[in-house]
Amino acid sequence: MAEVGDSGGPRDEGHDGTESGHVPEAELGTGETPVTVPRALRSSGPDRRKKLVLHVDLNNTILVSDAVTGQGTVAALDYFLSTVTWGKMSRHATPPSLLPPCSDAVSYYSQFGRITGFTSADGQRFRGVLDEHLELLRWPEGAKRDRELSVKGEDGRLYHWILPSFFQLLRDLVQDGREFAVVFRTFGTDLPRVLKAVSRALNEGAHPLFPDLPELKLSVDATPGKIRCSQRAIVLSRAAERVSSREGERGLYRYLSSVRGVGGFQDHFDWWATNTFSIRGGKPLWVDPFDQEVQHVFIDDNIRQNDEDTIVNPKVFMNPGGSDTRPASTSELYDITLVQTDLLRAVSEPTYFTQRVHICLENYERNLQQGAA
């Protein structure tokens, strides 16, 4: 691998050579089986009355750190760059991006694995990208340090622990008049702390960039739940609540569709590992293309169009109100109900998550119309 160039996605908890996050209109819904509903159930555009349930990963999605691997802000961002830089044996180099620039490109991470200090060694040409985004992550100068919302990096500087673009998303959705809920979904151990930090921002106005967040009146369920998978069933539990697929998968979908405010569940990492980190063992997501009232969207940096190396396992209901589901490939639902996080853009663009959610809303409606036609 003589040269390092463009981008891919991290395994820790990828599309063609188009600009990161962009899907050509002609390719929308061109997966193996388009998501379709009867013509009578179609609407003419993104319906603000439809509830939106956002399933949001933590590490390398809204957090630039990882408690499990012990990575601080600098190391986590440096590592992400190794997953979104590409090369091939012939000399080739392009800017970082989520997707490979050509069919024979391979990411630095997939070739060499997790490397400490990527931008200090083979990835030196990307040191400027790292420094630029670290500067954008700096905690506001003059603002008091908040032990829940800020974090000291390995370089001794103070950084945002939760990306401001996430809080901007919450503000934008409320201002848009849309009913929504946020469900954090992580394999890691940061969930209790994240729920506590988000609660401080939403209930106490503790974030220096978003002191008006309490006006949004969003509740936070600070009790972490669990999702556990086996060959027999998928079981979701939180406090005294327990729902199992043994009674049919529709019950799990109804439960997740009914959640309000902000909460979260720890997914089953061992099950993903048992299934060789493939779609078969990924975080389950139920999609009902017949539901006129709720749309689910999953945002995760490890969503990839290669189903042998992706983190979300979509299950699409086959009939209105039924319990039978079919598996769906990532490419079928990419940028429709699945969003692969571009961490660099999430850091640099305040409305990044808002943009991605609106793209999913628009693509979902367009896909339904194309399928019905």
Q: Residue 97 has what pLDDT?
A: 79
CA separation for the pair 243, 227 (Å, rounded): 10
Please give the chain's pLDDT, 373 residues, in tens.
Answer: 434 444 344 444 433 333 333 333 323 333 344 444 333 333 445 566 789 999 999 999 999 988 888 899 999 999 999 888 877 644 445 788 787 777 778 777 777 777 778 888 878 888 999 999 999 999 999 999 999 999 999 999 999 999 999 999 999 999 999 999 999 999 999 999 999 999 999 999 999 999 999 999 999 999 999 999 999 999 999 999 999 999 899 999 999 999 999 999 999 999 999 999 999 999 999 999 999 899 999 999 999 999 999 999 999 999 999 999 999 999 999 999 999 999 999 999 999 999 999 999 999 888 766 655 4
Q: Residue 220 has what pLDDT?
A: 98
- pLDDT digit string (tens) for 350-361? 999 999 999 999
Its pTM stands at 0.85
CA separation for the pair 369, 362 (Å, rounded): 11
CA separation for the pair 89, 257 (Å, rounded): 48
How deeply is 240 buried, as exposed, middle or buried, from its count of CB atoms within 10 A (0-12, 13-18, 19+)? exposed
Q: What does the angle CA 250 – CA 239 – CA 218 come to, to the nearest 5 degrees?
A: 80
CA separation for the pair 143, 372 (Å, rounded): 53
DSSP state of 300: E
